[in-house]
Amino acid sequence: MNQFNFRPLFRYEDAFIEGILTTLKLAFQAGAAGLILGLVCALLLGRGNRAINLIIRSYIELIRNTPPVIQIFIIFFVFPTIGVRLPPFEASVVALTLYFGAFVTEIVRSGLASIPRSQLEAGHCLGITNLQVFLHVVMLPALRNIYPSLTSQFILLLLGTSVASFISTEELFHTAAFVDSRTFRSFEVYALISAIYVSLVIAFRLFFFAFGKLAFRWPTAR
């Protein structure tokens, strides 16, 4: 057997960096859009309109019970037949947003449910508006309660961006497959991108930890 040799990979440095940037862009864009989508869905679910609830519930069940790769295929290959034609990167963002948003909906819902009714009443009794009650009374404690699951879900999204390679979005995993096909250094290539993914996850976890410490400083009973 030949020795491990990372040297042939060096000339693809730029491609790897491009891949990392695209992966991060996917995660950030789908993360931000999915967060908003999830928040809106969770708030709509709370309003108790039958038809809207049915639509949102179906969406969540659909996403949670099908493989992400099929979701991205449908958006890239099937949507054009109904006239929605997206380039790979955009299609990936849409698919990942829908994917992330479904999980965020459930997480946000549990966060809203974790705030006791008495807190809302105390807010309303002070004569402030519903929006003010949400923004000032509910939001931060709810966010604190769901922070661990929300950040974990984002990490899953970050790793899950690799499905975008199936529709030839040139993110990190796609780059790896490309370099592998050129160098035949499978072990080295996948060892390298594994290390990159792990480093990204560690970096995000550290950031989330530090941010959480800063944002949620109030002492809690439990």
Partner 1 sequence: MALVEIKGLRKSFKDLEVLKGVSLTVEKGDIVALIGRSGSGKSTLLRCINGLEETQGGTIEVGERQISAKMAGLREYRQRVGIVFQQFNLFPHMNVEKNVTLAPVLTGKVSKAEARKLAEECLAKVGMLEKINAWPEQLSGGQQQRVAIARCLAMAPELMLFDEVTSALDPELVGEVLKVMEDMARQGMTMVLVTHEMSFARNVASKVVFMHQGKIWEEGTPEAVFGDPQTPELRAFISSTHH
The residues of the shown chain that bind partner 1, judged by CB under 8 A, are 118-119, 121-129, 132, 136-137, 140-141, 144, 216, 218-221
Could you tell me if 108 and 42 are in contact, meaning their C-beta atoms sit under 8 angstroms apart? yes
Least spacing, CB of residue 42 vs partner 1, in Å: 20
For residues 105 and 198, what is the distance between their CA atoms, to the nearest angstrom?
27
Closer CB to partner 1, residue 8 or residue 141? Answer: 141
Torsion of CA 171, 172, 173, 177, to 10 degrees: 100
135 or 202, CB closer to partner 1? 135
Q: How far is the CB of 120 from partner 1 (least distance, A)?
A: 10
CB of 66 to partner 1, least distance (A): 38
Closest separation between CB of residue 211 and partner 1, Å? 15
CB of 114 to partner 1, least distance (A): 12
**Which of 55, 144, 154 is closest to 101 using CA atoms?**
154
Closest CB to partner 1 among residues 110, 119: 119
Nearer to partner 1, 2 or 118 (CB): 118
Nearer to partner 1 among residue 126 and residue 210 (C-beta)? 126
